[in-house]
Structure 1
Amino acid sequence: MLRNFTRKALASLAITGAALTATMSPALAEYPEKPVTMVIPLGAGGSHDLNARIITSIIPSYLGQAMIVRLTPGAGGQKGTQEVANSAADGYTLLFTHNYIDMLQQYVENLPYQPLEDFVPVARVNYAPASIIVRADSPFQTFEELVAFAKENPGELQLGHSGNWGAFFVPAAQIMKKLDFVMNMVPYQGGGPAMQALLAGDSDMSLAFPSALGELVEAGKIRVLATAGEERIFEDVPSFTEVGIDGDIGFMHRFVLAPAGTPQEALDELEAAFAQMSEDETFKKLMDRLGESVDPMTGAEYQALREGQAVAYDELVKDLTSQ
């Protein structure tokens, strides 16, 4: 009798223990349990890389884990993007990208992933206006002088950019079409390599975002000829509108995507961490020092903007490639 009772009691305890373990598992597996990797599909030294250094220095305070940057340039941003698309949808591998790679490339390449189906937005960090730049020793003192030379000498000027159909290629193509001139467009693996090519004299002009410009302008290595938008960014540099470039040209959104299927709990934690980071005074000061704005959006807010971009970029590509 005692032996039978003992067996029954042990069996009952085992069942109860299993039930408790099952009940406690979610609590033991609360996200995040380990560092989060943020893949950048661009090269070192560009604006995404510089922004990411600040993000990863501040967000651990709100996420509770380190965030590690992995630069994966190649194929105009597709290499790193595909890597994240193929990664586990567990919240531990994210993509820090921009609107041209995300929503435009699907209209010019046969991608191995579907942007709207394979990714979900976590948060937008900010957006930035592009600047047209030359070396300080360039013979072109103004944007008008550069355009005049390009019209008289079609294809002679070398324009270094961050990759085909990327954040520099698209506005450059729009500007050339709008003002009716041609330059030889040379691709590099990101804004950093494109900047180095310009400084080395391998190209005549390029584009850049504020985070990559400040120190170079102060050091007298770069001259800015015009900046995107209606308003001036630099007091003595005209805006695109002032030099005859109207419309939504030259703006890049920086945002974070996760693989589709990522648990909602993880997405909520990530979105909350990015929102808190955006309100952090140290983060704001560091971004201001970099020359960047802080313009956060939730994942849902950016998804609405993203869907509108898909329609607009379809029309843009058709316009730019029409004969």
Structure 2
Amino acid sequence: MTWKKKTKKLASAVLLTPMLFLAACGGQTDTEMSESDIENYPERDIRGVIQWGEGGATDNISRTLAPLAEEELGGTLVMENREGASGATGAQYVYDQPADGYTLLFGAENPNGLYQVLGISERDYLSDFQPVSIIGQSYAGIVVNKDSEFDTLEELADYASDNPGDITMGTSGEGGLPYVASAMLSAELGTEFNQVPYDGDGPLATALLSEEIDATVLAVSAAQEYVDSGDFKMLAVINDERLESVPDAPALTEAYPEFEKYLPWGPFQGVFAHKDTPDAIIDKLTEAFAAAQEDEQFQTTLENLGVQPLNIHGEEAIEYLEQNRSTSTWMLYDAGATDTSPEEFDIPRVDEE
């Protein structure tokens, strides 16, 4: 079954920060591995680099999956967070390590073409990494604190239109979920937010809890526990239909049908290795992570987080990434969030592929 049958053409959006253009460092691709090294892999600890901070969707999903993958690999995964520059810091770090399978990137949709159109980094999943596994596709929700004066998205949008800059919108940086969502709202509804950047879903949730910010956009998988506990109100899911995991949150198109052209859209999580990693090691990793994701408890965890399991790899994962890249980069461009056309990077629209 292909990913297209498992889920709609879900695009992801990205998530990146303004500042830095992380230059290509070339990566250490000259690592010599003997047949014995490859055959006996893994012979030491594997580093799992999470490109976002603690407590977010990517962090939670990665750390839940890691011990299951360890059992399948017969080795140890040492997980660490290397956040910064909308995830580009972690992606660059993994790219710069030896291509021997001992440093893996646990990433989200950020490096999938969005770094290029936003001028953040040269790193790209399809050019610089091999997908070990695309774990799952999730969705985003617009959330406010439980004590917020806003009970509906219409109330929030109307206020943001009439009072430009008064509402503080927490973001994960240029191109992040809140950034892209704000761009869509601005393009269609004329809203204007005061955007303040944080290092991912975890810090954003903490900021919203303490009312440092008025609103933000989180992956449903990261917001779920706060919505269930009553700490957050989810004003809408950025989708063209409601989600079973948050049935009381209306779909964005219920209030604003004009957003249908951007949807469906949402983040994804995956595991990636350096592009020059030996095929035999990629095969071992792929087999281990595929088996780990079949764990019934892990499947339940994804379901409870509102994540649609994909568990795809190889050509199927590449096909997914290609379509996701086309959809998300063109959505960002069409929403006016970047002046750089995806055409400059030979990224076609989905209907032109």
Query: Alpha carbons of 1:116 and 1:215: their partners in 2 closer, same or farther (altered >3 Å)?
Result: closer
Match of 2:153 in 1: 143
**Residue of structure 2 aligned with 1:294, choices 280, 303, 309:** 309
Cα contact 1:126–1:296 (8 A) shared by 2: yes
Q: Which residue of 1 aligns with 2:273?
A: 258
Residue type of the alignment partner of 2:201: G
In 2, Cα distance between the equivalents of 1:242 and 1:110? 34
Please state if 1:155 is matched with 2:165.
yes
Residues 237, 249 of structure 2: 8 Å contact kept: yes
- Of residues 246, 251, 268, the one that matches 1:239 is 251
Gaps of 5+ in 2: 1-33, 341-353
- The correspondence for 1:167, drawn from 165, 169, 177, is 177
Letter in 1 for 2:237: T
Match of 2:195? 185
Q: Which runs of 5+ in 1 are unaligned?
A: 1-23
Deviates more, 1:284-293 or 1:75-84: 284-293
Task: Quote the sequence identity (%).
Answer: 33
Is the Cα contact below 8 Å between 2:106 and 2:271 reproduced in 1?
yes
> 1:303, 1:128 → 2: CA distance?
18
CA distance in 2, matches of 1:173, 1:296: 31
C-alpha distance in structure 1 between counterparts of 2:330 and 2:304, whole Å:
37
CA distance in 2, matches of 1:148, 1:201: 20
TM-score, with length taken from structure 1: 0.86
Counterpart position of 1:268: 283
**C-alpha distance in 1, partners of 2:115/2:231?**
32
- C-alpha displacement of 1:110: 5.2
Structure showing the higher helix proportion among its residues: 1
Larger Rg computed on CA atoms? 1
Match of 2:19 in 1: none
Q: Report what 1:218 is aligned to.
A: 228
Please state whether the residue corresponding to 1:37 is helix, strand or coil: strand
Aligned to 1:15: none
Shift of 1:275: 1.3
Instruction: Return closer, same or farther for 1:214/1:116 CA change in 2, 3 Å cut-off.
Output: closer
**Deviation per CA, 1:212-251, whole angstroms, max 9, x where unpaired?**
2232223221111001222212222211221213132540
2:92 paired residue number: 82
Change (3 A) 1:236 1:116: closer
How many Å apart are 1:170 and its aligned residue? 1.8
Match of 1:99 among 91, 101, 109: 109
Structure 2 distance, partners of 1:80, 1:251, is 21
Structure-2 change in CA distance of 1:249 and 1:181 (3 Å): farther
Aligned with residue 136 of structure 2, among 126, 138, 141: 126
SS in 1 for 2:293: helix
Q: Scaled by the length of structure 2, what TM-score is found?
A: 0.79
- State how far apart, in whole Å, the 1-side matches of 2:313 and 2:123 are: 23
Pairing partner for 1:281 from 296, 312, 322: 296
Could you say if the C-alpha distance between residues 190 and 91 of structure 1 is closer, same or farther in structure 2, counting changes exceeding 3 Å? Answer: same
Distance 1:40 1:276 in 2: 21
User: Residue 111 of structure 2 contacts residue 124 of structure 2 at CA under 8 Å; is this kept in 1?
Assistant: no
* In structure 2, C-alpha distance between the alignment counterparts of 1:194 and 1:101, rounded to whole Å: 20
**Per-residue deviation at 1:97?**
1.1
